[in-house]
Amino acid sequence: MERKIVIATMNDHKVREIKSLIGDRYNVLTQDYFSIPSVPETGTTFEENALIKANQVAEKTDLLTLADDSGLEVDLLNGEPGIYSSRYAGPNATDDENNQKLIKELESYKGEKMTARFHSVIAIVEPSQNKQRIFHGTWEGRIKLDQKGKNGFGYDPLFYIDDLGATAAELTELQKNRLSHRASAMRAAINYLVRKTEYVK
């Protein structure tokens, strides 16, 4: 029987990244395939938002559903932008607008080490088994106020990894899919899915 999984996101970048991590283990569908509109992120944590999205899409499709909620946590900003990462500069902000706002917020800290991390939470909901699971992944680095690199999306051009001497936006897709917060969370999620294939519709 064909194994199907629905990705609960409207973000094409995330869909592409998650699809490449899942590979050919499942027939990967998106909520757009079912004409499901964007699910409001009304939670106060990554976990809550991931579960809200996964549960709503699973309810409408009755299929195994995976949702990711992720963002950037900057220590000097007490964890901001956090759950507001995709809308830091406003509800319909572009990646560049969010990056510019972050740069502005951190300008007064020039000269200090701006430690930060990307944090990803993957929620998997199995309607047929009435089960839900949560998986975490983090990626440690720091913020450099000069944007570099053309790959990736979001805050990648500002997120610098000392061990690599590069920003996330300067890495290849292969490198990012090995090292990133989402890759870490997805590895744990995929390990779970591989063990649970008998439950997949």
| Domain range list for the chain | 4-199
Confidence band for 112, pLDDT divided at 50, 70 and 90: very high
Question: pLDDT value at position 201?
Answer: 39
Residues above pLDDT 70, as percent of the chain: 96
Which among 12, 24, 62, 69 is annotated as catalytic? Answer: 69
Q: What is the pTM of this model?
A: 0.86
What does the pLDDT read at residue 64? 94
For position 197, what pLDDT does the model report?
A: 54
Closest CA relative to residue 60, chosen from 32, 36, 87: 36
CATH code for 4-199?
3.90.950.10
Task: Categorize the per-residue pLDDT at 200 as very low, low, confident or very high, splitting at 50, 70 and 90.
Answer: very low
pLDDT of residue 1: 56
* Catalytic-residue membership of 69: yes
